[in-house]
Amino acid sequence: MRLFVALDLPEDVKDQLSGLAGGLPGMKWVPRANYHLTLRFIGETPPFRAEEVDEALSAIRAKPFELRLLAPGIFEKNGQVQSLHVTAERTPGLAHLQNKIETALQRAGFPPEKRRFAPHVTLGRAAAVPVPKLVAFLQAHSLFRCPPVTVEHFTLFSSVLGKEASHYTPEVDYPLAA
């Protein structure tokens, strides 16, 4: 199984995010159903390890928190735009949960995540978007904000890579409690 840990998003948030999708030639938009905020990519995992992941995640105790999604941004690699996302504010509640998940998975024997946590929801992958159009898009939406939502659980997803889009299945929800 290919696994990752993420926040699923309420339907009204997905509605608002999908309102941003469009108007950029060359952008491969993520289907609305696939919007999520990745907390930890785990990757290909045999069934017995998946059980250990579940045990590790089940033992996490963290409080509900407010998630704030802000203006769109981009990720680049070697000067090439890779993807478009909305940024999530790195609030203490979000950082705390991500940290607990990272620690729990390392204790379960997974190697540390090397990349710094940059919370975001990917909206699209940039195949060949003209840069001026992208800049105009980011400017046009720079004031975009979602009303804060209370996060009361996190989710272990499995993913099956597809030609057009990956297919994500929520496998287990883990509640957050005050």
Task: Tell me the backbone φ, ψ of residue 105, rounded to 5 degrees.
Answer: -75, -35
167 counts as catalytic:
no
Closer to ligand 3AM at the Cβ: 43 or 130? 43
Which residue out of 120, 141, 153, 167 is catalytically annotated?
Answer: 120
Residue 38 in the binding site for ligand 3AM (CB under 6 A): yes
Residue 158 in the binding site for ligand 3AM (CB under 6 A): no
Closer to ligand 3AM at the Cβ: 118 or 136? 118
Residue 91 in the binding site for ligand 3AM (CB under 6 A): no
Three-state secondary structure readout of 18-84: HCCCCCCCCEEECCHHHCEEEEEEEEECCHHHHHHHHHHHHCCCCCCEEECEEEEEEEEECCEEEEE
36 counts as catalytic:
yes
- Residues that bind ligand 3AM in the complex, under the rule CB under 6 A: 4, 38, 41, 43, 122, 159
Catalytic residues: 36, 120
